Amino acid sequence: MQNLRVAVDVGGTFTDICIMDETTGKIRIEKTASSADPIDGIMSGVNKAEIDLSKVALFSHGTTVATNALITRRLPRAAMVCTEGFRDVIEIRRANKEDLWDTYKDVVPPYIPRRDRLTVPERVDAAGNIVTPLNEDAAREVARILKKRGVAAVAVCFMNAFMNGDNEARMKEILQEAMPDIPVSTSSEVLPEIFEHERFSTTVANAVLSPVVVDYTRRLGERLSDEGYTRDLLLLHTGGGVMTPKSVEDFSARLAGSGIAAGAIASRHIAMLCGYRNSIGLDMGGTSTDVSLAYDGQSRVTKDWFIEYGYPIRFSSIEVLTIGAGDGSLAWTDEAGSLRNGPQSAGANPGPACYGNGNTEPTNTDANVVLGRLGTSLAGGKITLDPKLAEGAVDKIASSFDLERHAAAHAIIQVANANMSDAVRLISISRGYDPRDFALVAFGGAGALHGAAIAKELSIPAVIVPPNPGVTSALGCLLVDMQHDFSESFIAGATTCDPAEIEAAFARMEKEALERLTHEGVAEDDIVLQRSVDMMYQGQWRSLAVDAPSPVADMAPLVEAFHSEHKREYNFRRDETPVSLYRLNLKATGIVPKADLEIHEPKGAKPEAKTRRPVWFDGDAPSDTPIYERDDLPAGFELTGPAIIEQFDSTTVVPPGTRMEVDKYLNIIIRIEAAA
């Protein structure tokens, strides 16, 4: 009986495994050290968790392989074939810089160097008419050269191919005739949208990643199959869905940023279980914090993202803002004498000073140890924390600012919380969302330590801490559906375009979506298609997406929806200004059956605190604080802070004046209103 669902999230330090029994909804977790080859770490974790893969109905995986390959530039040699005269588009970019004021900081070079960017004569005009057919003799010469160079992948990027991809398709045929075993990505298939730099950049990323991730998914699939797994391996992509290895062959760049999407999905799902359709996810790990937002039950999605600045990947992605703030982030003093926190980190090795591995600089973990918020051990006793070493590190900050030790530790935590609060403001207030209308889902190894303080700073009324905060991202891999995103440029005025043309374009995308999901084994009744249209005020180039009906018969409701969305996002609307359409989008979802999480009945017995210790919160004096073991807290348990709740993968801080309860799914909900 195949009744198990397994999700694996590979991080830089640990590989997290989440196992759910479909029949009972019970979840168990396992953590193992990540390895140089992530597959070895995955299989080690599977064996450590004693998973019988023949009983697994679904194996879902969030991977950092694509992200790491782009960051480290450990990429196979790839080539690019362009329209004559346009080989430097991806190097010219938008001629902008990440830091406007640093004229000496250069953008990193393109993934494909200039010597491997070759050109052929061809031309398509802006209306999609072929002005110059592909010169096939030149194309065959390019194919001969690239075969001789031994390239592992090719990106074909022709001007205006988003309107007519015939020349690109023919170039692909010629390349595959000469090199039948290498992947060829064409911009008209990968991203049929206007703006050549974004289209070329996405296609190049897709091409250079294809050999890497296809080899990875093939090897992982074989290892799982050898151990008894009989279903498709499902891989989490940035859009918040999963794809099969077959889809990865065509859209490899969708796996870039795969890992961080899982946490956003899980936080949204957990908030919905707790009755909150609006939620902000705070995933704080050892080095960084990922912040995401869900509004009215839907994660915020963006197409403006990248792994390295200057080289956008324009596939739809759950918007996640990452900052350098983790429990290993270093506290330091800048040249002006101000206290800073991160982005430098002690990492997993040597780690915080209290680990005793040689680091002597203060980190957030050391500050939390000094304040009593962390005890003397982590991970069920596998990591021992030395308070004396933590005190010695924090004393460096204390002496720099002439502060008492605990005041210095509190200052370190305040700066870290301010950094994370600013990140939450960027993804909420700056987008037109009021944090007071949201719940904060705090997870990751350190999210629950800081969640309540950040919520108080932003007037967020409730903090939700999942049952296993440290492996919540792995849980997210169990909660996703098959998903593909399609788009097509459609540039026209809203009052002059023909709705029938819009409907015809959507019909083409829907046909392709149905074919792709059916090929992946999704039943027609389980397919959900969601339409949207990107619109803008005439003369602008930044657009906003609004939901589109099926069928599109009247443009007036779409225009009104755009005005309303513009008002929410930017706090103004201009009803007298003409509106233009920019792009048509289709999200095709294949619903994957999901097991319900186990529901726990409230118990009358009130657990006793396992110990007490002095903990410093906001005041100068410590509070005598009860310390609870989370596994001892039943559904229905309530208390008024202060309290510290410890568990294998995280520690939760319940500040004085707040109210905490455990719900039927064993989530901890901290009510901040009591402290306001």
526-550 per-position pLDDT tens digit: 899 999 999 999 988 788 999 998 8
pLDDT over 70 at 675, yes or no: no
β-partners of residue 19 are 6, 28
pLDDT of amino acid 12: 64
pLDDT of amino acid 503: 92
Cα 606 to chain centroid distance, Å, stands at 39
pLDDT over 80 at 155, yes or no: yes
Range in 32-36, 439-443, 447-451 the model is least confident about: 32-36
CB 649 within 8 A of CB 468: yes
Domain 70-213 has CATH 3.40.50: yes
State the average pLDDT over residues 372-396.
88
Secondary structure of the chain: what % helix, strand, coil (to 5)?
35, 25, 40
pLDDT of amino acid 29: 82
311: tokens are: 């080289």
Q: What is the CA radius of gyration of the chain?
A: 26
CB 60 within 8 A of CB 241: no
User: What pLDDT, in 10s, does the model give residues 169-199?
Assistant: 999 999 999 999 999 999 999 998 888 999 9
Q: How confident is the model at residue 575 (pLDDT cuts 50, 70, 90)?
A: very high
User: What pLDDT, in 10s, does the model give residues 474-499?
Assistant: 888 887 788 888 888 888 899 889 99
User: For the whole model, what pTM was predicted?
Assistant: 0.82
pLDDT over 80 at 25, yes or no: no
**What does the angle CA 68 – CA 341 – CA 471 come to, to the nearest 5 degrees?**
50
Q: Which residues contact 148 (CB under 8 A, 6 or more apart)?
A: none
Alpha-carbon span 242 to 255, nearest angstrom: 10
Q: Match 């969305």 to its residue by tokens.
A: 565
What mean pLDDT value characterizes the chain?
Answer: 90
Q: Match 């197409």 to its residue by tokens.
A: 303
pLDDT of amino acid 209: 95
User: What pLDDT, in 10s, does the model give residues 613-634?
Assistant: 999 998 778 999 999 999 999 9
Q: Please state which CATH class domain 482-590 belongs to.
A: alpha beta
Q: Match 């974790």 to its residue by tokens.
A: 45
Coil/strand/helix, residue 167: helix
Alpha-carbon span 16 to 265, nearest angstrom: 16
Coil/strand/helix, residue 131: strand
pLDDT over 50 at 248, yes or no: yes
Range in 34-38, 141-145, 196-200, 278-282 the model is least confident about: 34-38
Range in 19-33, 397-411, 430-444, 464-478 the model is least confident about: 19-33
pLDDT of amino acid 259: 72
CB 356 within 8 A of CB 389: yes
User: What pLDDT, in 10s, does the model give residues 80-126?
Assistant: 999 999 999 999 998 888 888 888 888 889 999 999 999 999 999 98
Long-range contacts of 37-42 (CB under 8 A, 24+ apart): 38/10, 38/63, 38/64, 38/65, 38/216, 39/216, 39/219, 39/220, 39/223, 41/10, 41/15, 42/8, 42/10, 42/15, 42/220, 42/223
DSSP assignment of 219-231 equals HHHHHHHHTT--S
CB 373 within 8 A of CB 342: no
pLDDT over 70 at 1, yes or no: no
pLDDT of amino acid 508: 92
Q: How confident is the model at residue 246 (pLDDT cuts 50, 70, 90)?
A: confident
The answer to whether the 70-213 and 482-590 domains have the same CATH topology is no
Buried b (16+ CB within 10 A) or exposed e, 302-339: ebebbbbebbbbbbbbbbbebbebbbbbbbbeeeeeeb
State the average pLDDT over residues 403-416.
95
Alpha-carbon span 320 to 289, nearest angstrom: 10
State the average pLDDT over residues 498-518.
91
State the average pLDDT over residues 226-255.
87
pLDDT over 70 at 643, yes or no: yes
pLDDT over 70 at 676, yes or no: no
Q: How confident is the model at residue 79 (pLDDT cuts 50, 70, 90)?
A: very high
Among left, alpha and beta (phi > 0; psi -120 to 50; other), residue 224 is: alpha
125: tokens are: 């005009």
pLDDT of amino acid 595: 65
CB 94 within 8 A of CB 197: yes
Alpha helix stretches (DSSP H) within 321-384? 364-370
Domain segments of the chain as ranges: 70-213, 331-415, 482-590, 611-675
Residue percentage of the chain with pLDDT more than 70: 98
pLDDT over 90 at 671, yes or no: yes
State the number of CA atoms in the 13 A half-sphere of 365 facing the CB.
Answer: 36
